[in-house]
Amino acid sequence: MNSTDAEQQKSDEHHGDGGAGGTRSPEHGPQQAFAAFEQQRALRVSLMEQVCDPKNLLRAYRRVRSNKGKPGVDGMTVHELQDWLRENNEALVASLLDGTCQSQPVRGVQIEKSGGGKRQPGIPAVVDRMVQQAILQVPDPIFDPTFSDSSFGFRSGRSPHMALEQGRKYVAQEGRGFVVDLDPEKFFDKVNHDILMSRIARRIGDKRLLRIIRRFLRAGLMQDGVCVVRDEGTPQGGPLSPLLANLLLDDLDQLLESRGHCFCRYADDCNICVRSLAAGQRVMESVTRFPEEKLKLRVNREKSAVAPVGERKFLGHRLLLNGKPGISPRSINRAKERIREITRRNRGVSRVRVIVELNLFLMGWLNYYRNAACRFELQCLDEWTRRKLRCYRLKQCKRGKTVSGFLRKLGASPSLAHRVASSGKGWWRLSLTRASHQAMSEDWFAKQGLKSLVLKYDSFKH
């Protein structure tokens, strides 16, 4: 490597690849700096008193009740919380103020991940959820403005669509056609408690609160009747976990900003946009050392990669070369998996109920992807969904004679209906036949109440 190449590599490692990275918001003048200092001082002196303020506790109670959610290990529901507070509110406040408040074990559940493996979210007890919410409401409005403009996850007034829009600008306006996709391995399960608490202690000096937060982190995980003590990880499902994640990963944001990188981070999903494959490889090598050495977070080498933006997914999307977001193939496959679950014949529910559930899922799913350039994919998914419903309805007929009568009743020609009824092919293949399409046409599905993804998508564009 000659001297020019060495200088370029050093520049890439410390300043990205020539672009202006995210900046801290807002700009800090002398008055803003003094105000921020006073806020930090208030946090260090009287945080627990603010947490236990009756108005703050009432807000927390209402938020937990509106979020609903399942019971924790004690079986208490959100509807039973009010009665519990009438009898125990004073004792709860006293334990918070003296720092002796204890947390119950977290009820563990396992969810299959689309890419393989399992995710282990936790469901804290309802009382613990309310306490965490009350704690969150005090420091969050003060901490949030100090976070990076390129951090979008779990922040008020920010959304995945805003993160995608920033990525679109990097690609379309600045010509950054390659992405460094950084993926910490099992982030929420592997957070080091000591490192996390040291980051929290930088901003919070109230030792009572620090003790309570550590108890929440170390709360046992109840799975299949066995309580496992945890010395790492922050359970997904608690109101406080998102803020703790942002406090820890803010160190990574500061590093990326100091090197001038253009990046978007949503929770532990971080994409750094660069102009060339070589620059991306240099950035990947230098940046991955920081979370592993300083934050003790292992980077998943199999899922992390440097590639053209169109080959990597970000928040279920993939950025096209013109900067427009599209839908990633994995997101389409996950949608199909959910449609398969809804249209399983052995569920024992009516066709009307199946269509209602499909509409709820499909319209909610489309609302998330409404800004993507995906009309063709939606058209294919519409057709595939109708075929699944044709298969579902034919299976319900069970016998050939019933199939023939059903198809003829809906307008299929007798000869085609008889051919389908006497066929030995499987239901999925029969759902593609001409007779099935004649009987269960697109108009027929519309009359049954099935909503079209394409029509809804077109309405967003107008």
Closest among 149, 59, 131 to 92, alpha carbons compared? 131
Give the pair of three-digit tokens for residue 1: 């490597």
For residue 15, give every residue at least 6 positions away whose Cβ sits within 8 Å of its Cβ, in sequence order, or none. 259, 260
Helix (H, G, I), strand (E, B) or coil at 51: helix
pTM of the complete model: 0.80
Give 230-254 pLDDT, tens digit per residue.
778 887 778 998 999 999 999 999 9
Give 81-138 pLDDT, tens digit per residue.
999 999 999 999 999 998 889 888 888 776 666 555 566 678 899 999 999 999 999 9
Which long-range contacts link 200-207 to residues 24+ away (Cβ below 8 Å)? 200/244, 200/247, 203/40, 203/43, 203/139, 203/143, 203/247, 204/43, 204/44, 204/47, 204/139, 205/43, 205/44, 205/45, 206/43, 206/44, 206/45, 206/46, 206/47, 206/48, 207/99
Contact 321, 170 (CB under 8 A): no
Give 291-337 pLDDT, tens digit per residue.
888 998 888 888 899 999 989 999 999 888 777 899 999 999 999 99
Residue 339: pLDDT over 90: yes
Give 259-284 pLDDT, tens digit per residue.
999 999 998 889 999 999 999 999 99
Mean pLDDT of the chain: 85
Instruction: Transcribe 332-360 into DSSP letters.
Output: HHHHHHHHHHHT-GGG---HHHHHHHHHH
Helix (H, G, I), strand (E, B) or coil at 221: strand
For residues 169-190, average pLDDT = 88
Instruction: Transcribe 53-111 into DSSP letters.
Output: -HHHHHHHHHHHHHH-----TT---TTTHHHHHHHHHHHHHHHHHTT----PPEEE--E
pLDDT at 340: 94
If you ran DSSP here, which 8-state letter would residue 311 be given? G
